[in-house]
Structure formats: structure tokens, C-alpha cells
Amino acid sequence: MANLELKKNIFGMLSDGSEIELYTVNNGKMSFSSTNYGCTLTTILLPAGNGKKVDVLLGFSTLEGWVMDGLCFGTGVGRFANRIGGCTFEIDGKKYQLDDNDSGRTLHGGFDRWEKKVWSPREVETQYGRGVEYSRVSPDGEQGFPGNLDVKQIFTLNEDNVLTLEYYATTDTPTPVNITNHAYFNMKGYDGGTVKDHEIMFKSDKVLEIGEDHLPSGKILDVEGTPFDFRTPRLLSTQIEKLKFGFDDCYCVPGFDEKNFTLREFGYVKDPASGRKMSVKTTQPGIQFYTANFLNGEKGKNGHPYGRQEALCLETQGYPDAPNHPEFPNTILRPGETYHQVTQYVFEF
């Protein structure tokens, strides 16, 4: 890994005096940066010709932006990503009550979010490349979830332009665990405008049926003949216009098998004009495809206002509301077990 350069800088300071660090990994062609404030991906720089770089990740120019942010720009999300219906779940006959932060649902862990926590960083080299491991203990009762959860989020880059996000967790009490990263991508650049002109290809032929309450019904639908069908490459504009509000839906990863831990190819997004392309692989059963429907002029990097559908998210994860759907792939972690998931974003330019 001689070609992989890792630099550490001070990103800023919180009001309580905590010093926040920023780590940048560069392979000579592309780079990414991340911070121990919220396990947050802050930039992904790709070549743009003439020696220039383009940042394909929405976010902020300063730490203060993420401190004030409520939309999870590039942040690590847990203890349970996505939604839990009724703000409750039950394990082994015991019922647990969570925060209501989404009109009768718990979204991305509730009010006391992981994205606002300071994590302990450590520089690492793994089989996937060079980068940083962020760790902390989510204490029993945090966000209403049971058990002390020992968590690690590892971000690495290799020489082949593969950004790997790796998650580990262990617990002393049975608890739901579903960790993801909420990166907002625009392959034209963070100030490139709408992503409706992006080319999309997903191998998935199944999507979860979602009700008006944004929760899964338990049914799994075929994408054939629906706006959710991206099995052949299509411009996002050809499909999104068929929907009332945009995409915020969980696709099933083809070939997922709980007993067979392996990275599976899901698909890609591409900017046809520049040729910049990002493919996704994951060990997770689902990917939440979200087209940034709630962006509404938030001031981002260099003061750029982010408008509706100026980004897309591919949040690899367990199925939403899985603790209340025993027919879904398991998301309950028990003592003696290790939660381990891997996601890779593969860049071409």
C-alpha cells in the first residue's frame, strides 16, 4: 500500500472543547476525507480533467455545518438506520419504546443520533486498503435500545479506487443493529444541480412495498413494469417523473443469503457527460435508494444551496422496520455474535 497516503488534520473544535480530526486518504488518483465527528464522510475527490478535481459528495466546508445539520450528510447512522414503526419493537417478549422523531416512527435512531457523537479514531490497514477505524460504545438505553453496543466503523481506500465501509458490533444484551452511511452523491459534483440526468442501473428485480406511512407492508414486489425497474440502464428522469415525490425505497440485493457472507454487486450510477461512475457492492440485504427529496436550499460547501433531488443516496442496510417483521432478514444481534457488514463504492473516471 505504498501508494496510499494518509494525512491527519484538525477539523475544528466543539463548544465543549473537544478537538475534532479530519483524515484524508489519497491513492494518487482519487481521495476521500472523513472525520471522527459522527463517522462522517466529508469529501470524495475524483479527477475532472486538466489536473482539476471534483467533489462528488454533498456536505459542508466546515465542522460547524455538520454540527448544525439535521439531514445526515455523509454521516454514520445507527443503532438502527431507516424507520421503526410505532417507535417500538419487542425482543424475547420484552417491549422497548423509542423516540418518535418521524410522525409515529423512529428514524435513524431517534433524537440522540450517532452522527452527533465524537468517535475514537485509529489509523489502520486492512485487506480492503488504508484508512481509519472509528469506535465507541453505545451505552445501554441510548436511543431507547437495550445493551451496551461496542461499535466500529472502518473507512478505507485502495489503489483500485475502491472505497470500503466496514461495520462491526458486539453486544451484551439482544438488540437491533442496522448501520449504514448516509452519503449524498452527485457524480457531476456537489454543485452540479439535479441528478435526474444520471444513468442508473440496478440488478435488483425486487423492492419492498411501502405504505403511505413510509413503512414496509411485509410484501416484496417485482419491479417489472414499474418505475422501480432499472435492470437496464436508464436515465433517472425517465422513472422519477412517474412517481409523486421521488424515490425513498428499499431494493432487495440480488442473491442475498444470510448464511453466505459475501459482497454482491448491486448496480451503478453514472454521469453520462463526464463518464464518472460509481458501482456498489454490499453484504447487506437491502439498499435504500433515496433521491434527496427533502433538500430545500440548505447552504452547503462554499455556500452552495442544495436543492431538491440534487443528490442520490444508496444506503446499504437491513430492511426497514425489520424488528417488527420476523419474515425479513434478521437484524437482532445477540451476545456472543458479531455484527459485520461491508459495503464498497467503486469509482471509475
One digit per residue, pLDDT tens: the chain, 349 residues? Answer: 779 999 999 999 999 999 999 999 999 999 999 999 999 999 999 999 889 999 999 999 999 999 999 999 999 999 999 999 999 999 999 999 999 999 999 999 999 999 999 999 999 999 999 999 999 999 999 999 999 999 999 999 999 999 999 999 999 999 999 999 999 999 999 999 999 999 999 999 999 999 999 999 999 999 999 999 999 999 999 999 999 999 999 999 999 999 999 999 999 999 999 999 999 999 999 999 999 999 999 999 999 999 999 999 999 999 999 999 999 999 999 999 999 999 999 999 9
Answer yes or no: 304 catalytic.
no
Answer yes or no: 182 catalytic.
yes
Q: SS3 breakdown of the chain: % helix, strand, coil, rounded to 5?
A: 5, 45, 45
Amino acid 326: pLDDT: 97
Residue with cell 475524483: 46
Which helix (H) or strand (E) covers residue 45, if one does?
strand 40-49
Question: All 3 cell numbers of residue 43?
Answer: 469529501
What distances in angstroms separate CA 105 from CA 83, 98, 100, 108, one per listed residue?
Answer: 6, 9, 5, 10
- Quickly count: other Cβ atoms within 10 Å of residue 348's Cβ: 12
List CB contacts of 240: < 8 A, sequence separation 6 or more.
Answer: 196, 227, 246, 247, 291, 309
Residue with cell 489509523: 123
The pTM score is 0.98
The residue type found at 5 is E
Amino acid 208: pLDDT: 98
Contact 297, 307 (CB under 8 A): yes
Amino acid 192: pLDDT: 98
Pairwise CA distance, residues 105 & 85, whole Å: 5
Amino acid 2: pLDDT: 74
Q: Following DSSP, what letter does each residue of 23-43 receive, concatenated? A: EEEE-SS-EEEEETBTTEEEE
What distances in angstroms separate CA 287 from CA 185, 266, 280, one per listed residue?
Answer: 14, 9, 10
Q: What values do phi and psi take at 120, rounded to 5?
A: -90, 120
Amino acid 277: pLDDT: 98
| Catalytic one of 115, 133, 142, 315 | 315
Amino acid 129: pLDDT: 98
Cα-to-chain-centroid distance, residue 169: 17
The residue type found at 41 is L
Assign 63 to helix, strand or coil: helix
Contact 155, 130 (CB under 8 A): no
Amino acid 1: pLDDT: 78
| Catalytic one of 182, 198, 214, 310 | 182
List CB contacts of 33: < 8 A, sequence separation 6 or more.
Answer: 22, 23, 24, 25, 41, 42, 43
Cis peptide before 136 (omega within 30 of 0): no
Cα-to-chain-centroid distance, residue 239: 22
Amino acid 50: pLDDT: 87
Pairwise CA distance, residues 309 & 313, whole Å: 10
Question: All 3 cell numbers of residue 334?
Answer: 445477540
Contact 246, 227 (CB under 8 A): no
Amino acid 6: pLDDT: 98
Max CA pair span of the chain: 62
Pairwise CA distance, residues 156 & 159, whole Å: 11
